[in-house]
Amino acid sequence: MNQSRFIEELQKLNIEITDKQLKDLETYYEMLIEYNKKMNLTGITEKEQVYLKHFYDSLTIMKIIDLKEQETLCDIGTGAGFPGMVLKIFFPKLKVTLVDSLNKRVEFLKDVKKKLNLENLEIIHSRAEEFAKENIEKFDVVTARAVAHLSILLEYSLPMIKINKYFIAMKGNIKEELEESKNAIKILNSKLEKVIEFKLPIEESTRNLVKIVKISKTNIKYPRKYSEIKKKKL
């Protein structure tokens, strides 16, 4: 996806891009490639592929929720910052928290934050289930992009979400996981509000966005310890 096609596709998402945002993305890309030589941040390094599969793909969350209407967002298992860092660049008023369990990735993200001079951006080195225990009902939106099984993500995320606010999963094929997560959705006092399936431009691969709303407080025993979650999903 070249720059002109990128801008064109963002307009379809009702996202206007500024010169500064374009410049910040360019810097982000250069840093991603440079750091990737020293650590495994991404297997996708060709510029047009990064713009399509990382930058544009991160922004497709706007198909299911308008982030201009939200105040706080947490991206768990953010990796190299997708979608959270990209969302911060495009929605500067949004208070964003990025959480990852690998310190090398966290240090990379902190360097990006410093280089781009981003404010209201917190970068946390922690396991998601441990972070959740300390941040009950703190966020309007929690999201995760291709991190773990949906039922596991829900157990990590729902405790952190304010009542009547949202968890957004960004996935490839989701049908089987959704079926397997019905029990988790119920146990965690939430409900499935919407699923949007679409094709990524150019390569036409399938993407799904899943929107789940928290309807009442989550039982304080969730999330469980990772060993328990791994042993038996909800």
Q: What confidence score (pLDDT) does residue 79 get?
A: 95
Q: What confidence score (pLDDT) does residue 115 get?
A: 98
Q: What's the rounded mean pLDDT across residues 104-117?
A: 97
Q: What confidence score (pLDDT) does residue 77 get?
A: 95
Q: What confidence score (pLDDT) does residue 173 get?
A: 87
The answer to whether residue 230 scores a pLDDT higher than 90 is no
Given a contact cutoff of 8 angstroms between Cβ atoms, the answer to whether 122 and 72 are in contact is no
Distance CA 220, CA 233 (A): 17
Q: What's the rounded mean pLDDT across residues 19-45?
A: 95
Could you tell me the pTM of the whole model? 0.96
Kindly list the structural domains of the chain, giving each domain's residue range(s) and its CATH number in brackets, ordered by start: 3-231 (3.40.50.150)
Given a contact cutoff of 8 angstroms between Cβ atoms, the answer to whether 84 and 139 are in contact is no
202-216 pLDDT, tens per residue?
999 999 999 999 999
Distance CA 114, CA 133 (A): 28
Distance CA 217, CA 165 (A): 11
Q: What confidence score (pLDDT) does residue 164 get?
A: 98
| Closest listed residue to residue 140, CA positions, set 163, 121, 165 | 165
Mean of the per-residue pLDDT values for the chain?
96
- Phi first, then psi, for residue 103 (nearest 5°) are -65, -35
Q: What confidence score (pLDDT) does residue 120 get?
A: 97
116-171 pLDDT, tens per residue?
999 999 999 999 999 999 999 999 999 999 788 999 999 999 999 999 999 999 99
Pairing verdict, β 206-214 and 161-171: antiparallel
172-226 pLDDT, tens per residue?
989 999 999 999 999 999 999 999 999 999 999 999 999 999 999 999 999 999 8
Task: Work out the burial of residue 19: count CB atoms within 10 Å of its CB; fewer than 13 is exposed, 13-18 middle, 19 or more buried.
Answer: exposed
Strand order in the sheet with 161-171: 121-125, 95-100, 72-76, 139-145, 161-171, 206-214, 190-199
Q: What confidence score (pLDDT) does residue 101 get?
A: 95
Q: What confidence score (pLDDT) does residue 146 get?
A: 74
